[in-house]
Amino acid sequence: MPQDIAFLERLLDAHGPSGFEVRAARIWREEAERVTDDVRVDVSGNSFATLNPKGTPRVMLAGHIDEIGLQVTHIDKEGFLFVDEIGGWDPQVLVGQRVRILARDGDVPGVVGKKAIHLMTSEERGKASKTKDLWVDVGATSRDEVVDLGVRVGDAMVLDQRMIRLANDRIASRAIDNRIGAYVVLEALRLLSEYRPTASATAVATVQEEIGYSGGGARPGAFALEPDVAIVVDVTFSTDVPDANKKELGEHEIGGGPVISRGSASNDQVFE
């Protein structure tokens, strides 16, 4: 790629599901300290980087840094882990995936399993997989062995997949939703730092969006900042893929630039 995306790659590869964003947030703040001296974190885990803190108006640029994941709900006597979702999953994506469990004494690798297709009835084969019917195998043969690995009920996990580079200067990653938003708002702040705006501009890497149906970490972050205007950067669907309904979703292609959201839930003056 022509541009240096080393920071983006580190950010995407860091493990940080909702409620467990510490690693990714730390990488973001370390990079933010190269842009401004005013870098901080709140009790919720939101990370802030501010230029010209006494300026007006106050502008908030937000992108959530958490990703979807899984969480251990039960460890059976044979050493298999059963899980629930952190955020919204298509369970078909999970089958056969390698995972990384964020355990007490260090990360533990595992593999997502399900009933073998050879053992399924014809009716079972026609049904979509459900997360509650899957399990994670860490290689243990008993619950005690799992405990000895440092794995506990409540531990989070993510897919064990790193960023990859594709043709045409494109990338793929399990965490583009929405590390890319957290990356973009910090890069915007970096560009603003070259001009020292009269406004106060704060980039915020917010937490818990994937589980925050009432606003996640963005809500307490905005409450603390009291911005005059907030611009949120998140992902959307590309419609240059098979079976995308452009009449319903609009027309926006990968590489086509930013998509500006407009609707009753956003401010029309900010849109203009």
pLDDT in tens, the chain (272 residues): 456 899 999 999 999 999 999 999 999 999 999 999 899 999 999 999 999 999 999 999 999 999 999 999 999 999 999 999 999 999 999 999 999 999 999 999 999 998 777 877 777 777 888 999 999 999 999 999 999 999 999 999 999 999 999 999 999 999 999 999 999 999 999 999 998 889 999 999 999 999 877 678 888 888 899 999 999 999 998 898 898 888 888 888 998 899 998 888 888 888 88
The residues with which 112 forms a beta bridge, in sequence order, are: 136
| Catalytic residue chosen out of the listed positions 33, 209, 210, 248 | 209
| Cis preceding-peptide flag for 168 (omega within 30 of 0) | no
Residue 209 a catalytic site member: yes
- Joined tokens for residue 208: 């818990």
CA–CA dist 216, 67 (Å, integer) = 12
Q: Distances from the Cα of 29 to the Cαs of 66, 151, 265, 266, in angstroms?
A: 14, 28, 30, 28
Give the residue from 106, 112, 107 showing the smallest Cα distance to 70. Answer: 112
Candidates 3.30.360.10, 3.40.190.10, 3.40.630.10, 3.40.50.2300; CATH matching 6-65+175-235: 3.40.630.10
pLDDT in tens, 224-243: 999 999 999 999 988 988 98
Model pTM?
A: 0.92
Q: What pLDDT, on a 0 to 100 scale, did the predictor assign at position 1? A: 42
- 69-159 folds as Elongation Factor Tu (Ef-tu); domain 3 (2.40.30)
Contact, 52 vs 199, CB < 8 A? yes
The residue extents of the domains of the chain are 6-65+175-235, 69-159
CA angle 137, 139, 143 (to 5 degrees): 80
Contact, 86 vs 228, CB < 8 A? no
Give the residue from 211, 162, 27 showing the smallest Cα distance to 219. Answer: 211
Q: What pLDDT, on a 0 to 100 scale, did the predictor assign at position 122? A: 78
CA angle 58, 24, 87 (to 5 degrees): 90
pLDDT in tens, 126-146: 788 899 999 999 999 999 999
Contact, 110 vs 150, CB < 8 A? no
Q: What pLDDT, on a 0 to 100 scale, did the predictor assign at position 3? A: 65
Q: What pLDDT, on a 0 to 100 scale, did the predictor assign at position 83? A: 97
